[in-house]
Chains A and B, each alone.
Chain A
Amino acid sequence: MSEKTPQTAGQGSSEKNAWVDTYNDMLQDKYKGDSFDEAEFGSANQSETADSQGFSEKNPWVDAYDDMLHDKYTSGSFDEAESGAPDVPETADSQKNLAAALYEAYASGDVGAVKKAKEALRSSVSAQVETPSSAAKPEAADSQGSSEKNTWVDDEQSQEPVIEPGATVSISGQEWTVGAVRENPRTGKVEFVAYHPDENDHGRNTRGMFSEDDLKVTKEPVSPEIGPAPAPTAEDYEAVGQTPPSAETSDSVGNEKNLAAALNEAYANGDVEAVKNIKEGLLQNRESEVLEDSLARVRKEYAAARVDVESHFFKKFFGGKDRQQRLDDLAEQMKGLELAVAKQKFASEIQQLKDRAGEDDEEAQQQQEALAGLMAAHVVENMQKTEQETADQFDTMLDERSKVHKIMAKAGRWFTKDGRMKQWLKLGGTGAVAGAVTKMVAGWPVTTAVGLAAGVGVGNAVKQSVLEERRGEQRLNIDASDAQLALQQEAKNANASDENEALGAMVEASVGLTKEESEKKQEELRKKVRGAMGKFALGFAAGGAAANLLQSTLFGAEHAPTAVASEGGSTPSPDVATPGSDATAGAELGRANPVDLVSGTEGLGSGGYEYPWDWASEMFGDADAAQRLHELGEAAQANGHNVEWISVGGTEMVTVDGIYDTQYVVDVLSQYVN
């Protein structure tokens, strides 16, 4: 045995590298004391780092070479050697021939031929092993990260990254500091925790778990907040105190191993097309892993933020808004990730629909809409699961922080769809009540959303409301008549025997106005209705504006300027309670200054607009208001004004020159109306 028998010392070299020992024995026997010094066979010495298991699986031709050498020097026969190992795959002919050529060169003692044959073989094997991390790569007995090299043909002078605590390694062009290191008992690969010096938004160093295979694989984060790709197994997460990824992620790890094995086979077979497809599959699998783990992280953060909000429910002035904002931001982030995951899950169906584009547009569109519904339902389902898991965790908390949550749960038992209140109603509870409570109850159940149909474009062609059809008509009249139509629709859906009764009950139940409140309030409420519809068109949540929807649509000034339902539910104006009387009453009013319509009204403030959107709605119509506002903002920007659009908790706000004031914004933007 050569003294320079390779650096597999301590790693079972004799066990793993029997063929090398045989090779060295051969050389000793043949060339004892002769001119071929071992430097010539340096590459052969390096080859002992190949793991025998890896070689037998991944490099059958090498095993064949080993067999050839063994047979040659045990049987004394050259026949088998010269004919090559019978089990070498047909498609590995080129490498088999190269191996045979190398053997011949050695046998002939031709140093130049040996060098050439080695070079040719090295190039061939290097091309074979240029694969994704886990595929077609002989494992290095040397655990110093020579993962992507078939080291027995590598250059003797190659540098290998050192993986040990405190070392610095390069991952995706960034320098990471190695923490804990271990060898995965299952795969035999070196895995390690590493830290990146950049701080994330939590004030901690970015941390991740990597494998030796990752040292040359790009691991770009999906977004700056998400961080590096995680370790591949649940065990490895637990090793650093992290929550193991979901079962789906574990399955994707198994899938990656299968893909890696398939890739190895494709290389062995020389199937270029299969190699390409499998590589793409591996890439998608890795992207899916990153998404899934990012989603798991955000879910955890959302749960923590929700607990935080509920624990400080009434502390609105002590960080309450920030907590709620963080919760809202995380909810949006979670929705986005859920949708991205759903998109991946349905990727093949989406692609099929795209491939069919042009064949039958209408049917394809319907199928797209159906698929979108499925994806959105999938997202909602997962988000509800997260909410439920959060609630379950909260239930385990026994201290006072959970008081609000506990009372919410009790309230939920009363006021949910099938809660105790409904059961009481079913038992004839209404017979026992009187006064205002009767009116409150009479408005139940609520079965639909009011006034939203026109505001949000829904892909499956929800019927456009009259607002859209009557665009350009007198604003005030349109609002009133369309509100009536919306109410009529709502009343049809309501569980009321008499449409008038339902409307009347809704009026009285929705009243928040007292006799003391002026008609000015009615007009402001109507403007909020238009504001709410515009916001819905931009995808905003209804929020507080919708809360006033009922009052304002019912108490629009053009119908009943003096009809203010008092607290306690006085009889509403006949105009309001009889939706059959149509918009003609409103039409008679014609276009008028909103102020004039309301008697006894104080000034409505600057221009009477609460939001810039209200002004734009007056000028351009509800459907175009948002777009025209943006266009005017751009025109103002081009003329030297500083126009900013700010999204806050799902609501978009505009400032001009840093000023929020509606009048100022309107004054500036109106200058650019053509």
Chain B
Amino acid sequence: MFEITDEFLAQAGFGALPAEDKETMRRNAEQRVSTKITEKVIVVVGEENLDAFENMLDGDDALALLNWCQEHGIDLTNITQESMNETMAELQKLYNDALNAVRE
């Protein structure tokens, strides 16, 4: 649903990392975005639909899951974009803080 590209990392301030560190950073960013997506999805699902949602997740029918999300107002694209935006903003802030620490 999403991809942490080199451009994403560069925009966040991590374009100059060595290859190995960059891949580690990519994995960490993916994990952060994934966590945000799942949290946001759960919030929209709501407590009352949690069991039904879990049943859908336990199945293998991706189309049914997508339809279920659509029917219950879970805009996965929007949620994914939000999560990417938030992660980007956090990483940029962290990078700036680190840069200030280096320049102090």
Contact = CB atoms under 8 A, between A and B. Distances in A.
Interface string A185-209: 0000000000000000000000000
Contact of B85 (A313, A408, A549): A549
A536 B93 CA distance: 9
Interface SS of A by simple majority? helix
Interface residues of A, number: 82
B85 A449 contact: yes
B1 A417 contact: yes
B25 to A, nearest CB: 5
B101 A375 contact: yes
B80 A372 contact: no
Contacts of A372: 13, 95, 98-99, 101-102
B48 to A, nearest CB: 9
B85 to A, nearest CB: 4
A458 interface: yes
A419 interface: yes
A466 to B, nearest CB: 16
A339 B98 contact: yes
Interface stretch (A250-258, A420-428, A554-562, A641-649): A420-428
Contacts of A457: 96
Contacts of A339: 94, 97-98, 101
A237 interface: no
A509 B42 contact: no
A403 interface: yes
Given A350-B102, A441-B66, A449-B89, A542 B82 contact: yes
A353 interface: yes
Given A373-B16, A411-B38, A444-B1, A381 B75 contact: no
A459 interface: yes
Contacts of A380: 25, 28-29, 32, 91, 94
A477 to B, nearest CB: 24
B16 to A, nearest CB: 5
A546 B82 contact: yes
Given A445-B2, A448-B84, A377 B89 contact: no
Given A411-B57, A452-B88, A512-B78, A417 B2 contact: yes
Contacts of A453: 11
Given A379-B98, A456-B96, A541-B90, A436 B13 contact: no
Interface stretch (A28-36, A79-87, A136-144, A363-371): A363-371
Contact of B4 (A404, A417, A450): A417
A420 B5 contact: no
B31 to A, nearest CB: 6
Given A444-B1, A550-B81, A377 B92 contact: no
Contact of A437 (B5, B66, B96): B66
A351 to B, nearest CB: 10
A460 B17 CA distance: 12
Given A404-B42, A407-B57, A415-B76, A541 B21 contact: no
A543 to B, nearest CB: 7
Interface in A467-491: none
B1 A445 contact: yes
Most chain A CB within 10 A, of B5, B31, B91, B94, is at B94
A440 B76 contact: yes
Given A376-B95, A377-B24, A452 B89 contact: yes
Contacts of B80: 415, 444, 446
A601 interface: no
A106 interface: no
Interface residues of B, number: 71
A509 B13 contact: no
Nearest to A439: B77
A232 interface: no
A376 B1 contact: no
B38 A408 contact: yes
B57 A343 contact: no
A510 interface: yes
B49 to A, nearest CB: 11
A412 interface: yes
B32 A376 contact: no
A448 B31 contact: no
Interface string A513-527: 000000000000000
A379 B29 CA distance: 12
B41 A411 contact: yes
A495 B69 CA distance: 23
Contact of B82 (A369, A371, A547): A547
Nearest to B2: A446
A550 B79 CA distance: 12
Contacts of A493: 5, 7
A429 interface: yes
Contacts of A343: 101-102
Contacts of B14: 373, 376-377
Contact of B98 (A314, A376, A447, A495): A376
A671 B68 CA distance: 53
A443 B38 CA distance: 18
Most chain B CB within 10 A, of A414, A445, A452, is at A414
Nearest to A538: B93
Interface in B1-49: 1-5, 7-8, 10-17, 21, 24-25, 28-35, 37-39, 41-42, 46-47
Interface of A: 313-314, 335, 339, 342-343, 346, 350, 353, 366, 368-377, 379-381, 384, 387, 403-404, 407-408, 410-417, 419-422, 424, 429, 432-433, 436-437, 440-441, 443-453, 456-460, 462, 493, 495, 506, 509-510, 512, 536, 539-543, 546-547, 549-550
Given A343-B101, A368-B103, A546-B81, 15 more contacts: A313-B42, A368-B102, A370-B17, A380-B25, A380-B94, A407-B42, A407-B50, A416-B30, A416-B34, A421-B62, A429-B63, A459-B13, A510-B77, A549-B85, A550-B81
6 contacts: A343-B102, A417-B33, A419-B34, A437-B67, A452-B89, A458-B92
8 closest A-B pairs by beta carbon, nearest first, are: A449-B88, A424-B62, A372-B99, A546-B85, A314-B47, A542-B85, A372-B98, A376-B98
Interface of B: 1-5, 7-8, 10-17, 21, 24-25, 28-35, 37-39, 41-42, 46-47, 50, 53-54, 57-58, 62-63, 65-67, 69-70, 75-78, 80-82, 84-99, 101-103
